[in-house]
Amino acid sequence: MYEHLETAKNQTNLKRIVVDPVSRVEGHGKVTLLLDAENKVQQARLHIVEFRGFERFIQGRPYWELPVLVQRLCGICPVSHHLAAAKAIDQLVGVDPVNLPVAAEKLRRLLHFGQVFQSHALHFFHLSSPDLLFGFESDISKRSVIAVLGAYPDLGVQGVMMRKYGQEVIRMVSGKRIHGTGAIAGGMNKSLTKAERDYLLEGIDQMVEWSVASVELIKKVHCSNLPYYDDFGTIRSNYLGLTKPNGALELYHGGLRAKNDKGETIIDHVDYCHYNDYIHEEVRSWTYMKFPYLLSLGKENGWYRVGPLARVNNCDFIDTPLAEAARVEFKAHSGEAMVHSTLAFHWARLIETLHCAESIKSLLNDPDILSHDLVAQGEKRYEGVGVVEAPRGTLFHHYQVDENDIVTKANLIVSTTSNNMAMNESVRQVAAEYLSGQELTEPLLNNLEVAIRAYDPCLSCATHAMGKMPLQLELINAEGQLIDKLVKHSNGDIERNSHA
């Protein structure tokens, strides 16, 4: 591993290279490299430089606002936040997942499949395909979806249309493509009309067909450069995600499963309401994003990856036939129990895209989505935990309310947060193995972004470390000497270390 590159042993006389902002990801982040006289990388970090603070400002609001308010965290995966919050507030009105009306659960699943489908299509076609089709160090003019549309017009249009279809699924279920309503405590506020169902059915076969073609495309890209794709940014890690009780791939509701790098089970079928007994978060001074870890393995070794690679790795099978065939082929290519290649995130993501298309088709043919039995009600509770598999990985929402229905405490572990350590490790791997010792040019630096992009991070979703954030303020004079230093520790204590 490359943890030794998190902080350089000796910070003096190092050159600083900054990639700011990291482009074609959601949100704002930057990469800093510290190089010695021979251009050897001594330190590499991915910093998340924006701050949102939702966990704090939703305190004091009534709980039924949560699904609509919290989804504003993101414009790409609002449905995931909407549904995670909805699952949590279901519990506040005494409705456990088994008691949710069948129609409501199926409509939520349909909404979620639409969301994952559009998000994955966006990521692959709009954000990552320029790297994968033109090369990681291609000319900057080629690094956009516009260049893809120019060189591969059919493929580019296909990506745009796939995203549009997913957005239309979301619109039909929740009223708007972005930031709709839909899920309410204990169920849903509408079902699909026959006209809405038929409208979506019209396009679904094409979506399945294009999804199959995209899996074939990424397989070809990956396997034609196999040693490189299997090594670039690759790290061995643990993996976390939800699975169905029978071990199948699950995106909406299931138990927590974690496996180590050899494929051995760490936890399985864990009720996510008890996530706090298994997962903790660490805060570091140089980034607004926390570092979650599996408690049983500790801070050093307990970090894990989430998202498409984790889910496809973790599950025993996928319950839609075309995606399952793709999964079998995917797992076989590495010859290991787990696929660790960071660039294989793209392959896994497109297998999930295919799974979503197949699942949308199946749900659209299910008459339950037209039912008006949409809301259940039970005894009021004071705490709720909702977990879904968002496009970028496992997403935790945890709320407490008082007797007046007002939110008193909130904890969000957002998917990208779980990949924080992994993204940093991948950045360090690329820096150490592919960049170290070279004269760094702009195209070479894109390699760092390619490694980050594989995770499809949503940096704006993932920054909530309010109140516990350790901070360090240094005053350095023109000669580079440290004049003054102020440190705020994570317990809130402030220490001054004056060198003046």
Q: Could you list the residues that contact other proteins (CB under 8 A)?
A: 60-62, 64-65, 67-69, 72, 93, 174-176, 179-182, 184-185, 189-190, 404-406
Nearer to other proteins among residue 348 and residue 412 (C-beta)? 412
In one-letter notation, the amino acid at residue 157 is V
Shortest distance, position 70 Cβ to other proteins, whole Å:
9
Closer Cβ to other proteins, 17 or 183, answer by number: 183
Neighbours of 348 (CB within 10 A): 24
Tokens of 295: 């408690």
In the complex, minimum distance from the CB of residue 375 to other proteins, in angstroms, rounded to a whole number: 8
Cis ω on the peptide bond leading into residue 391 (within 30° of 0)?
no
Q: Which is nearer to other proteins, 109 or 346 (CB)?
A: 109
What 3-state class would DSSP assign to 319?
coil
Q: How far is the CB of 317 from other proteins (least distance, A)?
A: 36
Q: Residue 121 CB, nearest distance to other proteins (Å)?
A: 24
Nearer to other proteins, 174 or 426 (CB): 174
Residue type at 305 in one-letter notation: R
- Closest to other proteins by CB, 185 vs 240, is 185
User: By the 8 A CB rule, do 120 and 308 touch?
Assistant: yes
CB atoms within 10 A of CB 69: 18
Which residues have CB under 8 Å from 343's CB, separation 6+?
A: 222, 229, 230, 232, 233, 234, 454
CA end-to-end span of the chain, whole Å? 38
Determine the Cα angle at 81 with ends 87 and 379, to 5°: 20
Min CB(207)–other proteins separation in Å: 24
Secondary structure letter of residue 475 according to DSSP: E
Measured from the CB atom, the residue of 180 and 292 that comes closer to other proteins is 180
Q: Which CB, 181 or 334, lies closer to other proteins? A: 181
Smallest gap from Cβ 50 to other proteins, in A, equals 19
**Tell me, what DSSP letter sits at residue 21?**
S
The single-letter code of the amino acid at 12 is T
Take residue 474 and report the two structure tokens written for it: 């240094």
Q: How far is the CB of 69 from other proteins (least distance, A)?
A: 4
Distance, in Å, from the CA atom of 29 to the CA atom of 260, rounded to the nearest integer, reads 28
